Structure 1
Amino acid sequence: MDSIKLGLIREGKVPPDKRVPFTPLQVQELMQRFPWVKVYCQSSSIRCFSDDEYAAVGVGVVEDISQCDVLMGIKEVPVANLLSGKTYLFFSHTIKKQPYNRGLLQSVLGKQIRLIDYEALKDNQDNRLVAFGRYAGIVGAYNGLWTYGRRYGKFQLKRAHECFDVNDLKLELRKVALPSIKIILTGSGRVGKGAMETLDTAGIRKVSPFDFLHRQFNEPVYVQLHSSDYHDRTEGGPFNRGEFHQYPDRYKSRFYEFTRVADVLMAGAFWNPGAPVLFTREAMQDPSFRIKVIADITCDINGSVPSTVRATSIADPVYDFDPATGQTHPGFSNDAYITVMAIDNLPCELPRSASEEFGRDLIDRILKPLFGEDPDTIIERGTIAQKGALMPRFRYLDNYVRGEE
């Protein structure tokens, strides 16, 4: 086996990301399991793990990583930092033709870079193999509870980013003291499961959609809604999941039933732009619309939740939304408004824990294929570009790269 030099690159996107592909202990494990791989860590003052922590386990901490064959990061690499002819793994945010990253993909092609996108690494059933979704859900639901506590003065929590790790955050949840409110959680994937983890840890009871709609409780409760719980076929007949995913325009939403009884919405479901929105801004103006706190974990701008008109940040996590005008105001400014949390990089609030889970998946699911043992062609199918050309699965990006769409 030929030796491989793997470099952990310093995050260059602004604002910088503190997450890492591998923790120091995981790098130690990596080099033990793959002795022909030598890992180097580009010096960084912003990582959640320090240079000294990597050096302590035998990782070479360097400034120049041009000697490395494979370079791994988290967020998009600034064009000026890309090294020609290398193999890169990071979230490129190009596969949906994001216009702000067109130049990045153009540069990748021009510099003959092999780009492997974490988002495109999937099994044969098209399930993603590595992702931060669970931590988006954990932190997003926590922030929803934090927002409610701040708005109504019921309890005070530390901000998620002030917690050392996920265990510290879960200890903080002991302070949650909610009245008998009702919380909606949408989504059943990684994000939804992470959010459930937070709600369960906070001691909030889960109830059925029927009971949520029709029963009163003397304790806080939440419901986890699936697409079938709030969509009907326009022409009648039973809900068909396959049809809904392929032809979402054949369905209409009845989510309004839940907005009449709920106090908090935690939106964690993937939304297809062809599907109905959860509700409209006009519906939010109706006196029967009861929701006052929205934690949009998905943060789809102008998507299924009409009050998500912009993303918020870790430093400034919420804004108030006025349904009458569609305008935003500083958070907690008016009881008549709806308070919205829409942080678009939620896992960054728990970078150590999120990185540990992500690195575990990389070691267990990706490194063998990456280093050559890939009978399921995971790496080939996750490679966007190589040798100056788009790979076959990503040739649909050709017009995007040329600036024609």
Structure 2
Amino acid sequence: TRQYEGLDEAKAAVSALGEHIAREGLPDPITPLICGFAGYGNVFRGANEIIELLPVREIEPQEVAAVARSSDCAHDVIYKVVFKEEHTVEPISPEDHFDLQDYYDHPEKYRSRFHIYLPYLTLLVNCIYWEAKYPRLVTKADLKRLYGGAEQPRLRVIGDISCDIEGGMECTVKSTEPGDPVFVYDPFEDRAIDGFEGRGPVVLAVDILPSELPRDASVYFSTVLMKYVPAIAQADYTVPFEELALPPEIKRAIIVYQGKLTPNYRYIAKYLERNNK
């Protein structure tokens, strides 16, 4: 684990790596290096800010297979691909067509189709918001199929920034600590092996990533939070949650209210029960 004084120093190190890649190229065994991002919201924007410090060539999801199979791909770039909902899920009924609002309203009508991209990715960064009502992006069965072949799959690392335990990335069977940030998920034994050696993808599952840059995170979050402080201070917390008058950005972030999980976070209860057994 590397130690940096702050975000600027960390970004400088990534930029230096990018210069090395542009100058020397990537090793043949990991070329083309294709980095997939699932999601395109705030979490993605933070991750994208870092990868853009490297020599990047963006491709579309429909190009991933062709690039991975190409014998004429670039050695001095990292291929970046961003997946949105229309790429990751499909209607269960062949008579239906994908509609984003319908997916949000009726996720039970959809299933994941992300497995078609998995064989071609080197690195997958999960930035999606997930609840139990949505299909999983990657299942344990997907990884068992992927790693069940005779050859080593291209997929080496899963960076699960969202870090929902057995959630959108079902292989995230536990969270990790900054000092020991990764484990290998063995899809055949369904278990995590600490470190980065073993049969299966290396999974980064640190659920307290902002604390790794405490000064930068504190300055940013306090700056953003400042405009909401008056409303937070003036709110009446004796009323039911449905009547609580707070800005929607703050109200959506409330996990527990009056000693109970709020509606958007009730799915956490089953994980709490599991940990208490």
Instruction: Tell me by how many angstroms 1:345 deviates.
Output: 0.3
Which residue of 194, 214, 227 corresponds with 2:66? 214
Deviations 1:344-394 (A, max 9, x none): 10111111111111011122x213434659xx943698497xxxx949x96
Could you tell me whether the CA contact under 8 Å between 2:39 and 2:127 is conserved in 1?
yes
Rounded to whole Å, the distance in 2 between the matches of 1:207 and 1:175 is: 24
Deviations 1:143-172 (A, max 9, x none): xxxxxxxxxxxxxxx63xx22221111101
Which residue of 163, 166, 169 corresponds with 1:299? 163
Residue aligning to 2:231:
369
- SS of the residue 1:285 aligns to: helix
Which residue of 239, 246, 271 corresponds with 1:378? 246
Instruction: Tell me by how many angstroms 1:257 deviates.
Output: 1.3
User: Structure 1 vs Structure 2: percent identity of aligned residues?
Assistant: 25
Residue aligning to 2:238:
none
**C-alpha distance 344-394 of structure 1, shift in aligned 2 (>3 A):** closer
Task: Please list, as runs of the form range in 1=range in 2, the aligned pairs for 1:231-250 lying within 5 A after superposition.
Answer: 231-236=89-94, 237-250=96-109
Could you tell me whether the CA contact under 8 Å between 2:125 and 2:159 is conserved in 1?
yes
Task: Please list, as runs of the form range in 1=range in 2, the aligned pairs for 1:3-402 lying within 5 A after superposition.
Answer: 159=2, 162-176=3-17, 177=21, 178=26, 179-215=31-67, 216=70, 217-218=73-74, 219-236=77-94, 237-286=96-145, 287=149, 290-334=154-198, 336-363=199-226, 365-370=227-232, 377-378=245-246, 382=251, 390=258
Q: Which has the higher helix share?
A: 2
Residue aligning to 1:9:
none
- SS of the residue 1:245 aligns to: helix
Rounded to whole Å, the distance in 1 between the matches of 2:5 and 2:13 is: 11
Q: Which runs of 5+ in 2 are unaligned?
A: 236-243
Instruction: Tell me by how many angstroms 1:280 deviates.
Output: 2.6
Task: Indicate the structure (1 or 2) with the bigger Cα radius of gyration.
Answer: 1
**C-alpha distance 370-323 of structure 1, shift in aligned 2 (>3 A):** closer
Instruction: Tell me by how many angstroms 1:395 deviates.
Output: 9.3
**C-alpha distance 275-369 of structure 1, shift in aligned 2 (>3 A):** closer
Instruction: Tell me by how many angstroms 1:231 deviates.
Output: 1.2
Rounded to whole Å, the distance in 2 between the matches of 1:190 and 1:320 is: 27
Q: Which runs of 5+ in 1 are unaligned?
A: 1-157
**Residue type of the partner of 2:7?**
V
Rounded to whole Å, the distance in 2 between the matches of 1:301 and 1:394 is: 19
Supply the RMSD in Å over aligned alpha carbons. 3.5
* Higher RCO (CA < 8 A, seq sep 6+): 1
Rounded to whole Å, the distance in 2 between the matches of 1:197 and 1:379 is: 28
Residue aligning to 2:239:
none
Instruction: Tell me by how many angstroms 1:298 deviates.
Output: 0.9
TM-score (norm 1): 0.52
TM-score (norm 2): 0.74
Deviations 1:46-67 (A, max 9, x none): xxxxxxxxxxxxxxxxxxxxxx
**Residue type of the partner of 2:9?**
D
